[in-house]
Homo-oligomer: A and B are copies of this chain.
Amino acid sequence: MAKITTIFSLKNLFVLSVALNVSLILKVFYQSEKQVPVGVSTEEQKASLTADSGYQKEADVNQKTIQSLSTSSSSATISLAEIEDGGERIINLDHGDPTMYEKYWKQMGERTTIVIPGWQSMSYFSDVKNLCWFLEPEFGKQVVRLHKVVGNAETDGRHIVVGTGSSQLYLAALFALSPANASQPMSVVSAAPYYSSYPSMTDCLKSGLYKWAGDARSFNQDSPYIELVTSPNNPDGFVRHSMVNKTGGTLIHDLAYYWPQYTPISSPADNDLTLFTVSKTTGHAGTRIGWALVKDPQVARKMTKFIELNTIGVSKDSQLRAAKVLKVVADSCEKTRTSSSSEYNESFFQFSYRVMDQRWQQLREVVNSSSVFSLPDFPPDFCHYHGQVLEPRPAFAWLKCERELQDCESFLRGHKLLTRGGRHFGVEPKHVRISMLDRDDNFRLFLKRLSMVQP
């Protein structure tokens, strides 16, 4: 007790006590509200998460998520955790859950509130005159408008195909670009480090149409192939171009992060098939809405066909919500250009670049204060959206463990920091990917924890 009083003053203890009470009340309330899983005990669930060795990785992810999120599900408990944190709390930055953006949307109040009466949007069909018959016209309209306002993609002469997130559109593109009657499945490649889910998404069903063929840099077959170009790249944040330079190749551009908060907008992307997602644009990951800009109508039609066979279209409710959010973003851009700028009158991208810039500066400060880690350096470039030369501020930090540390993910897990190691991205385990898009409290705690890590 003597020791405690040396650490905490009476004022500190009072704050701690109030926070504890609030937390306990919230916990009781949360648990009584919580749905009891249908006739299945918690033990059974836990067992089911770890029993099947074939899904051990998934179980790991879920288990990690459970441990972490169960202590971070309300901001009240986060604050308490911060007060009581002595390195005990697990901080999960394994996923790219974009909860950072909640703050902005709270500030925007009712502007993006969506109201849907019970009798609306009941039909399967959204626009039967459109090649993509399940595309809500208002969503398509706002996608075009936002690209024009931001200047990050050509939309003229493109078909918009909406998907249940860009994951579904990636699969739709593979289906559309692979010939139905080829003797061999089409090779799918991407330069390492590549997005960790590409291999398992591609090979999940052992398709006879396409198969994952690994790192684009080492692809040396003469058969047709599909190359995925993710730019800025997930996980490392670098601007990317096609790496394979052979005939018979088709490109899918995944430009999920080609927005002004993450990277300078150099020119409108002008590709055959480009993927975007609301998750990374505005932070609305739970709506599961993505879109593809597709030049060839045959490809757009086959993608539409895939989504028809996969999910018979895409949630109208979420399309309407996404349309409203994109509209408010575009409005915010146009308004701040025509009026004098202040902190309370910044566009969505000004707000989010400011947050990302601050986070990256803080992270670099922590990393540079010791010799344990390093971060990539990004060349500054002129951003046509912001109208100035800016440094990229990627959605993930691609952290490298220096010196003799070989397995950075395990090393950080030892410090109760959950990240995703290099092996998942097709490279050596000295690197880890860390989400930069978590809530403020969690990000602050992550910096604090990282600053205390000793080799």
Asked if B44 and A297 make an inter-chain contact with CB atoms under 8 angstroms apart, the answer reads: yes
Q: Indicate if A452 sits at the interface (CB-CB under 8 A).
A: no
The complex places the Cα of A98 from the Cα of B180 at a distance, in Å, of 33
Q: How far is the CB of A270 from chain B (nearest CB, A)?
A: 13
- Size class of the contact patch on chain A: 35 or more
> Which of B45, B175, B200, B287 meets A130, CB within 8 Å?
B45
Contact indicator A301/B35 (Cβ below 8 Å) = no
Measured in the bound complex, the distance between the Cα atoms of B118 and A140 in whole Å is 19
Chain B residue nearest to A201 in the complex (CB): B309
Stretch of A48-56, A252-260, A330-338, A441-449 lying at the B interface: A48-56
Q: Which residue of B lies closest to A305 (CB)?
A: B58
- Report the bound CA distance from A164 to B62 in whole Å: 21
With an 8 A cutoff between CB atoms, is A248 at the interface? no
Contact digits for A174-185, partner B, Cβ 8 Å, 1 yes 0 no = 010000100000
Verify if A65 is at the interface (C-beta below 8 Å from B): yes
Q: What are 28 pairs between A and B in contact, CB < 8 Å?
A: A34-B129, A34-B137, A35-B140, A38-B140, A40-B158, A40-B297, A47-B297, A51-B298, A58-B305, A58-B308, A70-B129, A102-B122, A105-B117, A112-B118, A118-B328, A122-B284, A123-B285, A124-B286, A164-B164, A165-B312, A167-B312, A168-B310, A201-B310, A204-B306, A204-B310, A286-B313, A286-B316, A288-B313
- Judge whether A113 is part of the interface by a CB distance below 8 angstroms: yes
In addition to A37-B130, A171-B310, A201-B310, 19 A-B residue pairs with Cβ atoms within 8 Å of each other are: A35-B141, A40-B297, A48-B300, A65-B125, A65-B133, A69-B125, A105-B117, A105-B119, A114-B115, A118-B324, A121-B287, A122-B283, A124-B285, A167-B311, A201-B309, A288-B312, A288-B316, A315-B318, A317-B321
Complex Cα distance A311/B307, Å?
11
| Beta-carbon contact of B167 and A310 below 8 Å | yes
Tell whether, in the assembled complex, residue A122 and residue B140 are in contact, meaning their CB atoms are under 8 Å apart. Answer: no
> Which residues of B lie under 8 Å from residue A12 when comparing CB positions?
none
Most buried by B among A97, A114, A209: A114
Q: Is the CB of B144 within 8 A of A38?
A: yes
Given A113-B115, A155-B38, verify A165-B311 contact (CB < 8 Å).
yes
Count this chain's copies in the assembly. Answer: 2
- Determine whether the beta carbon of A122 is less than 8 Å from that of B39: no
A116 on the B face (CB < 8 A)? yes
- Asked if A131 is at the interface (CB within 8 A of a chain B CB), the reply is yes
Complex: chain B residue closest to A42, CB-CB: B129
Chain B residues near A128 (CB, 8 Å)? 62, 65-66, 69-70, 73
Bound Cα distance from A156 to B73, whole angstroms: 28
For residue A101, CB closer than 8 A to chain B, the reply is yes
A157: CB under 8 A from chain B?
yes
Query: Which of B65, B127, B180, B321 is the one whose CB lies under 8 Å from A116?
Result: B321
Also in contact, A52 and B309, with CB within 8 A (given A118-B325, A121-B287): no
Residue on B nearest A63 in the bound complex, by CB: B128
For A103, the closest partner residue in chain B by CB is B119
Cross-chain contact B116 with A114 (CB below 8 angstroms): yes
Q: How far is the CA of A311 from the CA of B310 in the complex (A)?
A: 10
Query: With A and B bound together, what is the CA distance between A314 and B207 in angstroms?
Result: 23
Report the minimum CB–CB distance from A71 to chain B (whole Å).
11
Task: Please pick, from B124, B167, B206, the residue contacting A209 in the complex, using a CB distance under 8 A.
Answer: B206
Complex contact B208–A62 (CB within 8 A):
no
Residues of B within 8 A of A73 (CB): 128
| Complex-state Cα separation, A317 to B314, whole angstroms | 12
Min CB–CB distance A48 → chain B (angstroms):
4
B287 touches A317 (CB 8 A): yes
Answer whether A49 and B122 are a contact pair too, CB < 8 Å, given A155-B38, A204-B306: no
What B residues does A164 contact at CB under 8 A? 164, 288, 310-311, 314-315
